């Protein structure tokens, strides 16, 4: 088979792939003393009605979880893309005084103080919210799992420009060898902070 024909065959096979069923969501109980809420890249530049309306729709859910987390004294950490500033974070979920912020590309552990912040606060579990699902969420969640943190991802707390990227991210986290044993998929109303 010629290389071009083989490539066309591969692409044709891809068009016939049926998506797997969505994962089963689970209720989660967390201790606020050992759990951190991560809000990744929820900025005006990339979370707006023009660029990523799915992100805007998730903000009320994330805000609800953020309020519960703060009320229970949970560690809250924000991230920004490299070009953004603290003032770029969406007003609905803006950091309170003292809530730390890291800046990086898609992996928020890379060349930041995120791991140190989590260690200093004796964190064992991270609840990951934010945008984009296939960028900051996927890579930071993978980085957390590689560091043996338990990763909790609420499906109504992540977003992308399209549903497929969100679906893929969740599929990857519950199926990839390095992440599947560390990941729980849930929804915000099913996160019980004790």
CATH number 3.40.50.850 given to 26-193: yes
**Structure token pair of residue 20:** 């797997």
Domain boundaries, the chain: 26-193
Distance separating alpha carbons of residues 159 and 56, to the nearest angstrom: 9
Q: What is the pLDDT of residues 98-122, one digit of tens each?
A: 999 999 999 999 999 999 999 999 9
pLDDT in tens, 56-101: 999 999 999 999 999 999 999 999 999 999 999 999 999 998 999 9
DSSP letters spanning 87-139: GGB-GGGPPPTT--EEE-SS-TTTTSSHHHHHHHTT--EEEEEEE-IIIIIHH
């Amino acid at each position: 088979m010629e290389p071009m024909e083989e490539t066309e065959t591969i692409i044709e096979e891809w068009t016939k792939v049926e998506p797997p069923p969505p994962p089963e969501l689970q209720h989660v109980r967390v201790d606020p003393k050992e759990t951190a809420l991560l809000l990744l890249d929820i900025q005006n530049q990339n979370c707006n009605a023009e660029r990523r309306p799915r992100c805007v729709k998730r903000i009320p859910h994330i805000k609800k979880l953020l309020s519960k987390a703060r009320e229970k004294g949970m560690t809250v950490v924000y991230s920004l893309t490299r070009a953004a500033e603290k003032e770029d974070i969406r007003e609905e979920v803006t950091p309170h005084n003292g809530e730390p912020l890291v800046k990086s590309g898609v992996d928020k552990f890379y060349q930041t103080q995120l791991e140190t912040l989590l260690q200093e606060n004796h964190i064992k579990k991270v609840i990951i919210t934010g945008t984009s699902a296939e960028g900051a969420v996927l890579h930071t969640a993978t980085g957390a799992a590689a560091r043996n943190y338990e990763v909790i991802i609420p499906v109504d707390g992540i977003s992308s420009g399209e549903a497929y990227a969100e679906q893929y991210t969740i599929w990857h986290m519950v199926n990839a060898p390095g992440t599947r044993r560390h990941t729980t998929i849930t929804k915000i109303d099913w996160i019980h902070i004790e």
